[in-house]
A = this chain, B = another copy of it.
Amino acid sequence: MADVRLETALDPVAEIAAFNARYATSGGIVTFLGQVREGGGVEALELKHYGPMTLPGMTDLARITQLRWPLDGLLIVHRHGVMHPGDPIVLVAAAARHRRDAFAAADFAMDHLKSESWFWKREKTATGWRWIEPRPEDHEDLERWR
């Protein structure tokens, strides 16, 4: 039921169109699209993953999300590799009979993707590449679900 992918490219509009068509009679569809922000002098970012664990972890997250809320469908697509401001990074879509379930499921999946998935991020500015450390907010976001 869940469609979970780790990709080097992501076309959010095509993905959303296909998802909406597939779940046309679900009451509500919530999508989250994460993009590379502009600002802070960031010219590029790179997301690295670990083959044996990253996609299996995402698949497990999808399974847990579906156990927690009654969903008609769930999509999680995450990119890895080098990206630039304006590029899509991650897309989550949840279709449910009831609006609140779709919102909660997408929100939950994103909090866990950001904080518990096996991705490592580095950013390139004029001074070169720099690895990004986890932020305290990521941990706080997770606490909301416990």
Complex Cα gap A102–B92 (Å): 14
CB of A99 within 8 A of CB of B110, answer: yes
Q: Which residues of B contact A26 (CB under 8 A)?
A: 35, 37
Assuming the contacts A13-B13, A110-B99, asked whether A25 and B20 have C-beta atoms less than 8 A apart, the reply is no
Q: In the complex, what's the smallest C-beta–C-beta distance from A86 to chain B, in angstroms? A: 4
CB of A29 within 8 A of CB of B20, answer: no
CB of B13 within 8 A of CB of A99, answer: no
Answer whether residue A107 sits at the interface, using C-beta atoms and an 8 A cutoff.
Answer: yes
Assuming the contacts A13-B13, A16-B16, A99-B110, asked whether A28 and B34 have C-beta atoms less than 8 A apart, the reply is yes
| Additional pairs, 20, CB under 8 Å, beyond known A16-B31, A24-B86, A25-B85 | A13-B16, A13-B17, A20-B33, A24-B35, A25-B38, A25-B86, A27-B34, A28-B32, A28-B34, A29-B31, A29-B33, A30-B30, A30-B32, A30-B106, A32-B99, A32-B102, A32-B103, A37-B97, A99-B110, A103-B110
- Could you give 10 example pairs across A and B, Cβ below 8 Å? A13-B16, A13-B17, A16-B31, A24-B86, A25-B36, A29-B31, A30-B30, A30-B32, A37-B97, A99-B114
